[in-house]
Amino acid sequence: MLRFLGVISLAMAAKAQCPDYIDYSNVPHGPFSGGEYNLSYMRPDPACRTFNSSIVEQTVDRVSQGIADPDLRRLFTNAYPNTLDTAIAWHGYANDSDEELTFIITGDINAMWLRDSANQMQSYLPLLTASQAFDSLASLYRGVINLQARYILTDRYCNSFQPPVESGISPSPNPSASEDTVRPNYTNSSVFECKYELDSLAAFLEVSTNYYNATQDASFFKNYQWVDAVKSVLQVADEMMVPTYQPNGNVSELAYSFTRLTTRATETTANDGLGNPFNNGTGLIRSFFRPSDDSTIFQGFIPANMMFASYLKSASDIMYAIGDQDDLAGQMCDLSENLRTSISKHGIVHTSNHGDIYAYEVDGYMSQNIMDDANIPSLLSAPFIGYLDRDDEVYQNTRSLILSADNPYFMRGPVINAIGGPHQGPGYAWPMASIIRIFTTDDEAEITQQLQQIVSSTDGLGLIHESINTFNESDWTRQWFSWANGLFGQMILDLEDRKPEILGQSFQNSTS
């Protein structure tokens, strides 16, 4: 079910004796967990790991000791270090410069997504401290921020990118994209795919905020291209607030358009590349695609607008801190505030069963798409992305709807119950949504039930898969999906902090 067949990762295969992790992660390896679910050991041999971090190793050891259940412990041990173990395809410097660069692949696809790489780093955020050392997590973070800035300045509408030339890694062909028609045009030597997703730009602001908040290292943001990249992000925001029709009825010329030759409706856009009409005056920023890389039905995509509003505000603190940029920082704050007003005005709809809820997408006319998708940003993740408090009344109403059969993409069955989405289609639940469910509740019974379902549904492989058939544990997608594994680890660290007693529970022979 992988959408990029034929794209093979080079990260591990590059080291002569190391198996390609795409194969390695597809079969079980001993020693086994010894628990009911007999989970495989899945970390690569130390010589084959793509980045070594003593703080991550110490954390894996410490947290593991607090996990009583052998299967949960094994899943954490495999999952948390997965990005460092397998996905740091290259970490180095820009030509003739002290500018660090980090090329992080998503896992099974040899390209760097803005969204995935920001989130892959976020799993290590609790361990991030200020350091100038090249072998530190801080250096990996700086390298991601610098490379993302370069990508945005080159192709501000694209979502996924090729290795930097300095790495010496060859670009990967993307057969799915080879016949795309995209404005503005781009070259496939630097871009892997060019779907415009507002959350990709929010992810750049997110990883920047995360680094700054943990290190207070404002001077780093002055050194290279960060300020220009933020200007480029604001330019997209401006261009993507343009409505379909001008006041005189003339059709606006949009800065971006996209079509693909495909049999899947979600892989292209309506109206020959423009998408469905978007009304004037919503104050929302359009998104052509969702974080699943599927096209939006209505371009007023609420979760990405929430995420963008949230991290635009937090990144304005960086802009103020670096000095001489108060105007730009002020613009960021104003846009963030205006987006919040627009989301409340256009994104909230009344339902008879659940009261006032957030819509997933709106068009500013009268159409609303009521659903949620597993990928982050989602409506479920609104507190996780810092947009609102989890006890917000509209959020709680929304949560009750999207975690029920009233959400057209809530998947049910004996194996796992969770939100899915059109990317893998009906019948496939995404553990990533179960993880976000845990992050966004204090209800211990709910947390325990979700953990139980995650631990029991890895098909013995001991990794977090992208999606799972809710009636057949052996039918799953993506054996190597680093983001979801890191997110699982991050959630366990959060539980260690918030609910350590849950990590002391047994998940063996449970009937929940």
Q: Which residues bind ligand NAG (CB under 6 A)?
A: 28, 32, 38, 46-47, 49-52, 95, 165-166, 171, 173, 185-188, 209, 213, 243, 246-248, 250, 252-253, 280-281, 314, 386, 472, 474-475
Give the phi and the psi of residue 481 in degrees, each rounded to 5.
Answer: -130, 90
Which residue lies nearer to ligand NAG by CB, 252 or 353? 252
Written as six digits, the tokens of 163 are 């290795």
CA atoms of 393 and 398, how far apart (whole Å): 9
| Smallest gap from residue 1 Cβ to ligand NAG (A) | 10
Handedness of CA 180, 186, 187, 192 (dihedral sign): negative
Written as six digits, the tokens of 199 are 């959350």
| Smallest gap from residue 47 Cβ to ligand NAG (A) | 4
Which residues is 351 bridged to in the sheet? 355
Measured CA distances, 510 to 387, 451, 452 (Å): 35, 11, 8
Beta strands in 302-457 (DSSP E): 348-351, 355-358, 361-362, 368-369, 410-411, 418-419, 428-429
Which residue lies nearer to ligand NAG by CB, 140 or 401? 140
Query: DSSP letters of 238-304?
Result: HHTT--SB-TTSPBPPPS-EEE---S-GGGS-HHHHT-S---TT--PPP-SB-TTSPBPSSSEEHHH
| Smallest gap from residue 403 Cβ to ligand NAG (A) | 25
Give residue for tokens 């694209």: 158
Q: What crossing angle do the helices spanning 226-239 and 198-215 adopt, rounded to 10°?
A: 150
Nearest to 425 by CA among 465, 362, 381, 477: 477
Which residue lies nearer to ligand NAG by CB, 271 or 472? 472
Which residue lies nearer to ligand NAG by CB, 163 or 486? 163
| Smallest gap from residue 400 Cβ to ligand NAG (A) | 26
Give the phi and the psi of residue 428 in degrees, each rounded to 5.
Answer: -110, 115
Query: DSSP letters of 362-375?
Result: E-SSS-EE----SS
**Residue 149, H or E segment:** helix 137-154
Task: Name 375's Cβ contacts closer than 8 Å, sequence gap at least 6.
Answer: 290, 291, 292, 421, 423, 430, 432
Which residue lies nearer to ligand NAG by CB, 215 or 276? 215
| Smallest gap from residue 107 Cβ to ligand NAG (A) | 17
Give residue for tokens 């947290």: 63
| Smallest gap from residue 278 Cβ to ligand NAG (A) | 11
| Smallest gap from residue 176 Cβ to ligand NAG (A) | 11
Which residue lies nearer to ligand NAG by CB, 139 or 449? 139
Which residue lies nearer to ligand NAG by CB, 17 or 511? 17
Measured in whole angstroms, how far is the alpha carbon of residue 179 from the centre of its chain? 26
Question: What end-to-end distance do the CA atoms of the chain give, in Å?
Answer: 29
Which residue lies nearer to ligand NAG by CB, 4 or 358? 4
| Smallest gap from residue 37 Cβ to ligand NAG (A) | 9
| Smallest gap from residue 174 Cβ to ligand NAG (A) | 6
Which residue lies nearer to ligand NAG by CB, 371 or 487? 487
Which residue lies nearer to ligand NAG by CB, 381 or 397? 381
Helices (H), 240-301: 270-273
Nearest to 90 by CA among 51, 121, 129: 51
| Smallest gap from residue 123 Cβ to ligand NAG (A) | 15
Handedness of CA 432, 433, 435, 436 (dihedral sign): positive
Which residue lies nearer to ligand NAG by CB, 186 or 481? 186
| Smallest gap from residue 173 Cβ to ligand NAG (A) | 3
Helix (H, G, I), strand (E, B) or coil at 39: coil
Which residue lies nearer to ligand NAG by CB, 63 or 194? 194
Which residue lies nearer to ligand NAG by CB, 177 or 402? 177
| Smallest gap from residue 299 Cβ to ligand NAG (A) | 15
Helix (H, G, I), strand (E, B) or coil at 24: helix
Helix, strand, coil shares, percent, the chain, to 5:
40, 10, 50
Q: Are 282 and 188 in contact (CB under 8 A)?
A: no
Give the phi and the psi of residue 362 in degrees, each rounded to 5.
Answer: -135, 165
| Smallest gap from residue 397 Cβ to ligand NAG (A) | 25
